[in-house]
Amino acid sequence: MKKELAKTYNPKDIEGKLYQKWLDKKYFRATVDRSKKPFTIVIPPPNITGQLHMGHALDNTLQDILIRFKRMQGYNALWQPGTDHASIATEVKIIEQLKEEGIEKQDLGREGFLERAWQWKEEYGGRIISQLKKLGSSCDWDRERFTMDDGCNHAVNKVFVKLYNEGYIYKGSKIINWCPVCHTSISDAEVEHEEREGHFWHIKYPIAGEDGYVEIATTRPETMLGDTAVAVHPDDERYQHLIGKNVILPIVNKEIPVIADTYVDKEFGTGVVKITPAHDPNDFEVGLRHKLPEINIMNDDASINENGGKFAGMDRYEARKAIVKELQDLGLLIKVENHIHNVGTHDRCNTTVEPLIKPQWFVKMDELIKPAIEAVKSGEIEIIPERFEKIYFNWTNNIRDWCISRQLWWGHRIPAYYCDGCGEIIVSEEEPSRCPKCESSNLRQDEDTLDTWFSSALWPFSTLGWPDNTEDLDYFYPTDVLVTGYDIIFFWVIRMVFSGYAHMGKKPFSKVLIHGLVRDSQGRKMSKSLGNGIDPLEVIDKYGADALRFTLITGNAPGNDMRFYWERVEASRNFANKVWNASRFIMMNLEKADLSTTIDEKLLTQAERWIISKANTLVKEVTDNLDTFEIGIAAQKIYDFIWEEFCDWYIEMVKPRLYNDEDDTKLSALWTLQHVLTTSLKLLHPYMPFVTEEIFCTLQEMTGLKEGESIMISSWPVYNPDWEFIRDTESIELIKEAVKGIRNVRSQMNVPPSRKAKVVVVSDNERIREIFTESKVFFATLGSASEVIVDKDKTGVSDDAVSTVIQGAVIYIPFEDLVDIDKEIERLNKEKDRLEKELKRVNGMLANPNFISKAPESKIAEERAKLDKYTDMMNQVLDRLKSLNR
């Protein structure tokens, strides 16, 4: 018994079993094969704390579409998967878990905590991978990597030691982002800036030795305890006399200098700013330029330290209130203004981040970044869409040294060792047994771990075996495309680029495809705080993975945000149903057909030539779109072709022939149905892998045609220039125009679909009469005609016949018992008004000397053709009105 499609499409019945089949058959597996060209994508590794969200779903759907497309094109396609240890995120989760058990992190000690962390990784680390599989992701799971596996750990240590020995890594005190709750430095990527209501406190700083003061405005009055200068712009005439003098720092009662620096904006506020080098990154740079002291007034928990005098021990916000009150009591508080400003918070614990000077490990970036800048400037690496180059260069051109150390236990521990005997620092891949300087064995390793981005910056080559010279690395590197959201372009993409050049001497990838965010239906970013997040797994459970994938891609242009609507998911599910039902209908008719015989091209009717030509053009356009990453545009073209051209038009055209065993063109119709369905499924497969696989495999088994045991390893359709049947395409488009006209007339007159009526096609053009004569069979079906008559004049057409005008012909429908003559006259008058407007516009353009002299010849010819067309149609409408009025 041959396999059949189920009567109704149910994703739950097929998705799980098909994915397991793909895994069992190793279809995702990519091994070195020098006879094939490689195509490689590395997955942006999701965190092991992660739960699949809509951003993941979009990002991975885009990657899967590209990898499935290239795999079918014959490339040796590798999608390299893996997960990220996510040091801070994971440590926060584990600490929360421990607290529920009444255990503090310090109680376990470092080794005990790490043991617990690895248990977490084993228990939860694979959760998001299983969810990606539900989405249909065709990664080579046999190659799955983890940023803290032995290979990646080896790569990280190798890079650290290499960069240290080359002078790029150093330890020093600089200002960094500090989380007072997590007690660690954090990267810019982990700082979320959110608008908050705050205040501007305007404070008097008295001028030393003189009457008068300068007015300072600040949003953080507690930091004044660490002020070491006030600054004005060197060209600000208002304050020239003060440059080089001192002001008295209120409350602290010490003199600090007035300096001139172009950092100050003359137009903002009072034009005078307080400089606190230890607590503001811009002030830190000013301080370096003017050799100012750096006074840290905060402890690690953001309480005031001993440098804060009588405020020592207070929480930062408690100290703020006390300082403001004292300023008020001293008469030094001028005013307080409401002010909305951006506040940096740690994305893991929502704590306000403090800029603090801390001894940390840094990567010196001024030289390392140069190849990354040149690569994009020269086009060696292409950013898509191009507008994101501006953001890329804004970051690279304003690069600061990268703080790579974190005060955490979970992560790559810094391979630096301190000799307690002589203070020597030893940086080594392997733990040293003795100090090379004093021979002491009293060594201790640096307590800090590396920034998570330090390991993920190596991802494109560490996952392929670097630092070993593996065959995989030689064959699959550089990779081809990196797909990522614009929200991490700075923090990951750029670090991978300079790391690729620094350690491989090559770019890590050729193209960077940047996508936007998935927002809710109101355009808001999905977040826990808003409670507007939508779980992709919930969507998959309700509508299937194919529907979710297609929804995320349709209407999506590179770099643009998209809004998520449940209605769109339903529409995608309905599209899958449409494909399923059309396929079932075709298969029912193919059951007894012998498709192994060669089809005589002479038996291909206009309809076959039209749909084959349309499908052929679609192959070319979709392939071109995917090659240029216009993935959403390609999806819409596939959708429009399958739903409208194939299902709503061609299948309906051939139905009469399918039911007539005597028709000698029946076999060519069946062959065309099978051919176009197969082509359509292949084009759709990267977007909707599950439904296309089930239909394709069923079709193959049923027909005995062997195009492969799976659609994902079948060949991608190729454009055939011999199949551009332009003449037949134009013929069918004329038939479609006539059918649409008939349906429109019937709809306006509320004629029930079941009611058949004679249709008379009148044209003095022999070619047009020939087209309708050859198409009588399906034209009758599509036009709800009881009979189709084709004639060169309207002799015999009743005066009360309803008409629709197409180019070169008039279609008459004698509805004597149904037609309301007054309504028909009203309809024709509306058509007359429309044509009058079109004629007025065309005549106006052709009478305009500027248009005639400046427009291209092709445009002028186009407008003249429109004039002929509208004039012809107007004459026919006027004739019809005259007839009806008579």
* Distances from the Cα of 447 to the Cα of 187, 406, 417, 693, angstroms: 18, 9, 9, 52
Place of tokens 């509306």: 830
**β-bridge mates for residue 170, sequence order:** 362
Complete DSSP assignment for 256-320: EEEEE-TTS-TTSTTSEEEE-TTS-HHHHHHHHHHT------B-TTSBB-GGGGGGTTSBHHHHH
Token pair belonging to 54 = 């809509």
- Between CA 746 and CA 738 the distance in angstroms is 12
SS3 525: strand
SS3 348: coil
- Between CA 151 and CA 145 the distance in angstroms is 9
**Residue pair 51/131 in contact by the 8 Å Cβ criterion:** yes
528 is in an annotated binding site: yes
The amino acid at 567:
E
- 191-206 vs 333-346, strand pairing mode: antiparallel
Handedness of CA 132, 135, 139, 143 (dihedral sign): positive
**Residue pair 737/873 in contact by the 8 Å Cβ criterion:** no
Cα–Cα nearest to 693, from 13, 1, 7 = 13
The amino acid at 311:
F
666-684 vs 689-703: helix axis angle to the nearest 10? 150
| Residues in the chain, overall count | 886
Q: How many CA atoms lie within 13 A of 466 on its CB side?
A: 26
- First-to-last alpha carbon distance for the chain, in angstroms, is 67
Complete DSSP assignment for 680-719: HHHHHTTTSHHHHHHHHHHHHHHH---S-SSGGGSPPP--
SS (H, E, C) 3-19: CCCCCCCCHHHHHHHHH
Supply the Cα-derived Rg of the chain in whole angstroms: 36
**Residue pair 169/361 in contact by the 8 Å Cβ criterion:** yes
Residue 30's CB is within 10 A of a number of other CB atoms, namely 25
**Residue pair 516/552 in contact by the 8 Å Cβ criterion:** no
Burial class (CB within 10 angstroms; exposed 0-12, middle 13-18, buried 19+) of 812: buried
Place of tokens 């009881």: 786
**Residue pair 217/270 in contact by the 8 Å Cβ criterion:** yes
Q: How many CA atoms lie within 13 A of 402 on its CB side?
A: 29
Q: Which bin fits 183, alpha (ψ -120 to 50), beta or left (φ > 0)?
A: left
Place of tokens 């007839």: 883
Binding residue positions: 528
Binding residue positions for ATP: 528
